[in-house]
């Protein structure tokens, strides 16, 4: 996992690299580093543990920012092999100090290669798999028989796993080599100026001429020109340059202390932005799917694959699609989908849901679905992302940049798209009437109810402060609100480090109830629907074991007041929008517990915004 940015041109590379790292911090933030190379071949490496901001402060203090040259590589890390300390941070160099490299991915056969290199008297400084790769390149190069390019190729042909790398060599300071297999890498091209990035975000504000390196390709970048070659064979490949008409605006926290808080509030607009222009009267317009719509509409089964919060959205999607259109839907964790026997064929639709569009497992799952001949749909937030490019067609969630590691507005936007998709499918299958469509779409685009949740913020904050020292939580809901319970528990875990589990409310009797005692808060999501009375019984079961009860409901019935230690009533809406309102309550609840514990809400420990390794 990790983010890579590199520059080769006539400007000082420092601002490009440091700003690029800030944009890539979503891929990891436990350490960061920069290396630049002068025309004479002097390499300066600066790296440290901690966030990019801390690296920036150190570089400024040491005046490194003024001394940077026109060629540099940079990296922000999420540790896989080796602790997040300075030694394990990238860039890494070989023993001779000639070769320096940044890497995103995992070298799986690092151990035998390390043993081999050690037998050749090569000494290792770090615990990383990456150092094995740079030492292997150095080993080939220093034997004197292979050129720099040949040495990189020879090393890459011997490693298994996934990588995106950028390499410099002090003996050939005019050359920069980038290569990828499994992990994404893009090139940006200007006249006599080249950029490399893990995605377009660190590049796109400088150039719109982009090459997405394909699997097993390398780019050999010189002073004025570049070549694309295969890693397997020394043959030149066509340069497929795309013009990407997209700019990334600066996105700041505004009046908020944390991005997560801002992003929760933005849902007043993002939910409607996701829907605007996609409905007309009783019709749903999903233009991004139209090229494949006849196959989508006639598919016999649908798979949804995703990770984390996006997987929870997938569970809600399953419920909606099956309810409205009666097409069977299977929801699979992408990490399972990619290795399990999955009965996908050319009569199946596979929907990948991903905020970042870069999650390695989801990307691999969609590649598998493509290989099996399914129609693949991406529901992504980031235009130009790997998943949005790998799928046959898709719909963007359009909720803007999401920076907080805990996904909030992306989740409610994903649900909104799935809602539209389910309705559209049902309508063409004649499972739903015009008037019912119209009623659903009116609800979907109404945001006033979201505002009313935000007006309850102080009340939710007060409740959160009562529970901030709890060590375990249960989140319980039924039907559509079971995934909401899972999502509420995930939000709490990731930003407050409190153990929480989501369960179908009735399933709790089959084990988790053993955990319940007077200290245990139990969050119940209780819409006034056909399961209402059943959930009341479930609450009674917990109550009689002295568990604390927090209820989120749209019902004003007295029984709930009597049962709850804390009650949060959301406005009446339909069942589907209730999920969104309850989710926003749970986002605020988790947020205020984490703030109460004085934690870094936006960048929780051990996590990264986008998980780009399997």
Q: Any contact of residue 350 with ligand M6R (CB under 6 A)?
A: no
Nearer to ligand M6R, 289 or 364 (CB): 364
Q: Which of 305, 306, 313 is nearest to 409 (CA)?
A: 313
- Angle of helix 52-61 versus helix 13-24 axis, rounded to 10: 160
Nearer to ligand M6R, 34 or 406 (CB): 406
CB-count exposure of residue 215 (10 Å: 0-12, 13-18, 19+): exposed
Closest distance between ligand M6R and the C-beta of residue 373, in Å? 24
Q: Any contact of residue 359 with ligand M6R (CB under 6 A)?
A: yes
Sheet holding 236-237, edge to edge: 92-93, 99-107, 161-169, 176-181, 217-221, 226-230, 236-237
Nearer to ligand M6R, 72 or 314 (CB): 314
Question: What CA–CA distance (Å, rounded) separates 55 from 33?
Answer: 7
Nearer to ligand M6R, 406 or 601 (CB): 406
Residue 399 is a catalytic residue: no
CB-count exposure of residue 312 (10 Å: 0-12, 13-18, 19+): buried
Question: What CA–CA distance (Å, rounded) separates 414 from 320?
Answer: 12
- List 22, 367, 548, 609, catalytic entry: 609
Nearer to ligand M6R, 386 or 555 (CB): 386
Choose which of 169, 325, 348, 355 interacts with ligand M6R (CB under 6 A): 355
Question: What CA–CA distance (Å, rounded) separates 75 from 188?
Answer: 17
Please, are residues 12 and 68 in contact by the beta-carbon 8 Å criterion? yes
Residues in the chain, total: 614
Closest distance between ligand M6R and the C-beta of residue 523, in Å? 17
Q: Which of 118, 31, 34 is nearest to 74 (CA)?
A: 34
Closest distance between ligand M6R and the C-beta of residue 332, in Å? 14
User: Contact letters (x/-) for ligand M6R, 398-437, by CB under 6 A?
Assistant: -------xxx------------------------------
Question: What CA–CA distance (Å, rounded) separates 94 from 398?
Answer: 44
Question: What CA–CA distance (Å, rounded) separates 340 from 365?
Answer: 10
Nearer to ligand M6R, 178 or 489 (CB): 489
Closest distance between ligand M6R and the C-beta of residue 306, in Å? 6
Nearer to ligand M6R, 356 or 573 (CB): 356
Please, are residues 451 and 323 in contact by the beta-carbon 8 Å criterion? no
Q: Which of 110, 105, 153 is nearest to 133 (CA)?
A: 110
Closest distance between ligand M6R and the C-beta of residue 402, in Å? 9
Please, are residues 522 and 546 in contact by the beta-carbon 8 Å criterion? no
* Choices 108-116, 274-282, 356-364, 521-529 (CB under 6 A): range interacting with ligand M6R: 356-364
Choose which of 501, 610, 612, 614 interacts with ligand M6R (CB under 6 A): 610
Closest distance between ligand M6R and the C-beta of residue 408, in Å? 8
User: Contact letters (x/-) for ligand M6R, 447-476, by CB under 6 A?
Assistant: ------------------------------
* Choices 30-38, 102-110, 115-123, 354-362 (CB under 6 A): range interacting with ligand M6R: 354-362
Residue 609 is a catalytic residue: yes
Output phi, psi for 532, to 5 deg. Answer: -50, -50
Cis bond before residue 333 (omega within 30° of 0): no
Q: Report 91-150 residues binding ligand M6R (CB under 6 A).
A: none
Nearer to ligand M6R, 46 or 362 (CB): 362
Q: 609: which residues sit within 8 A by CB, 6+ positions away? A: 25, 26, 27, 356, 402, 403, 405
Output phi, psi for 595, to 5 deg. Answer: -65, -40
Rg (CA), the chain: 26
* Choices 43-51, 184-192, 355-363, 446-454 (CB under 6 A): range interacting with ligand M6R: 355-363
Q: Any contact of residue 384 with ligand M6R (CB under 6 A)?
A: no
Choose which of 354, 386, 397, 538 interacts with ligand M6R (CB under 6 A): 354
Q: Report 474-503 residues binding ligand M6R (CB under 6 A).
A: 490, 494
Q: Which of 376, 373, 412 is nearest to 394 (CA)?
A: 376
Q: Report 303-332 residues binding ligand M6R (CB under 6 A).
A: 307-310
Strand pairing class (236-237; 226-230): antiparallel
Closest distance between ligand M6R and the C-beta of residue 264, in Å? 12
Question: What CA–CA distance (Å, rounded) separates 163 from 540?
Answer: 53
Bridge partners, residue 46, by sequence: 34
Choose which of 393, 535, 611, 613 interacts with ligand M6R (CB under 6 A): 611
Closest distance between ligand M6R and the C-beta of residue 378, in Å? 10
Closest residue to ligand M6R: CB criterion: 308
- List 2, 13, 307, 380, catalytic entry: 2
Q: Any contact of residue 356 with ligand M6R (CB under 6 A)?
A: yes
Closest distance between ligand M6R and the C-beta of residue 223, in Å? 37
* Choices 106-114, 154-162, 349-357, 425-433 (CB under 6 A): range interacting with ligand M6R: 349-357
Question: What CA–CA distance (Å, rounded) separates 124 from 133?
Answer: 11
Question: What CA–CA distance (Å, rounded) separates 83 from 85?
Answer: 6
Please, are residues 98 and 141 in contact by the beta-carbon 8 Å criterion? yes
Nearer to ligand M6R, 450 or 490 (CB): 490
Q: Site for ligand M6R (CB under 6 A): how many residues?
A: 16
Please, are residues 439 and 576 in contact by the beta-carbon 8 Å criterion? no
Nearer to ligand M6R, 333 or 443 (CB): 333
Catalytic center residues:
2, 609
Which residues of this chain interact with ligand M6R, rule CB under 6 A?
Answer: 307-310, 354-356, 359, 362, 405-407, 490, 494, 610-611
């Amino acid at each position: 996992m990790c983010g890579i940015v590199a520059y080769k041109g006539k400007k000082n590379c420092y601002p490009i690299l440091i700003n690029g790292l800030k944009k890539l911090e979503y891929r990891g933030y436990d350490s960061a580093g920069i290396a630049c190379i002068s025309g004479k071949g002097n390499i300066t490496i600066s790296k440290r543990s901690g966030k990019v901001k801390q690296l920036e402060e150190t570089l400024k203090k040491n005046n490194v920012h003024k001394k940077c040259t026109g060629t540099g590589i940079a990296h922000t890390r999420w540790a896989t092999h080796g602790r997040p300390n300075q030694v394990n941070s990238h860039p890494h160099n070989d023993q001779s100090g000639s070769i320096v490299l940044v890497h995103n991915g995992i070298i799986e056969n690092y151990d035998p290669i390390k043993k081999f290199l050690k037998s050749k008297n090569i000494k290792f400084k770090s615990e990383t798999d990456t150092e094995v790769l740079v030492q292997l390149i150095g080993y080939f190069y220093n034997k004197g028989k292979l050129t720099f390019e040949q040495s990189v190729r020879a090393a890459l042909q011997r490693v298994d796993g996934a990588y995106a790398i950028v390499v410099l060599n002090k003996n050939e300071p005019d050359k920069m080599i980038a290569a990828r297999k499994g992990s994404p890498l893009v090139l940006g091209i200007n006249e006599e100026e080249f950029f490399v990035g893990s995605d377009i975000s660190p590049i796109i504000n400088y150039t719109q001429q982009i090459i997405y390196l394909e699997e097993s390709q390398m780019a050999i970048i010189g002073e004025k020109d570049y070549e694309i070659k295969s890693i397997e064979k020394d043959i030149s490949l066509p340069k497929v340059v795309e013009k990407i008409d997209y700019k990334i605006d600066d996105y700041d926290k505004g009046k908020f202390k944390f991005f997560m808080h801002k992003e929760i509030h933005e849902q007043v607009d993002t939910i409607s932005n996701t829907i605007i222009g996609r409905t007309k009267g009783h019709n749903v317009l999903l233009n991004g799917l139209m090229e494949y719509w006849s196959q989508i509409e006639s598919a016999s089964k649908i798979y949804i694959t995703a990770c984390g919060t996006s997987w929870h959205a997938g569970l809600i999607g399953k419920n909606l699609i099956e309810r409205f259109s009666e097409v069977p839907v299977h929801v699979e964790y992408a990490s399972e989908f990619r290795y399990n026997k999955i009965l996908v064929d050319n009569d199946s639709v596979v929907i990948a849901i991903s905020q970042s569009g870069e999650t390695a497992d989801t990307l691999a799952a969609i590649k598998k679905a493509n290989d099996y001949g399914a129609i693949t749909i991406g529901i992504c937030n980031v235009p130009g992302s790997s998943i949005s490019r790998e799928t046959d067609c898709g719909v963007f969630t359009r909720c803007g940049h999401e920076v907080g590691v805990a996904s909030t507005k992306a989740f409610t936007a994903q649900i909104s798209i799935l809602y539209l998709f389910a309705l559209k499918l049902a309508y063409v299958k004649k499972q739903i009437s015009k008037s019912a469509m119209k009623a659903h779409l009116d609800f979907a685009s109404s945001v006033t109810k979201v505002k009313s949740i935000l007006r309850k913020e102080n009340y939710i904050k007060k409740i959160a402060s009562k529970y901030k020292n709890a060590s375990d939580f249960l989140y319980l809901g039924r039907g559509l609100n079971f995934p909401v319970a899972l999502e509420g528990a995930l939000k709490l875990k990731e930003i407050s480090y409190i153990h929480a589990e989501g369960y179908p409310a009735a399933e709790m009797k089959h084990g988790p109830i053993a955990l319940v005692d007077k200290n245990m808060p139990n969050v119940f999501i209780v819409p006034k629907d056909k399961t209402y009375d059943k959930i009341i019984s479930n609450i009674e079961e917990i109550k009689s074991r002295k568990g604390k009860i927090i209820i989120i409901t749209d019902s004003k019935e007295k029984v709930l007041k009597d049962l709850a230690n804390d009650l949060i009533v959301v406005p009446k809406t339909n069942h589907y929008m209730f999920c969104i309102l309850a989710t926003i309550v749970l986002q605020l609840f988790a947020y205020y517990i984490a703030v109460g514990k004085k934690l870094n809400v936006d960048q929780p420990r051990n996590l990264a915004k986008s998980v780009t390794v399997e």
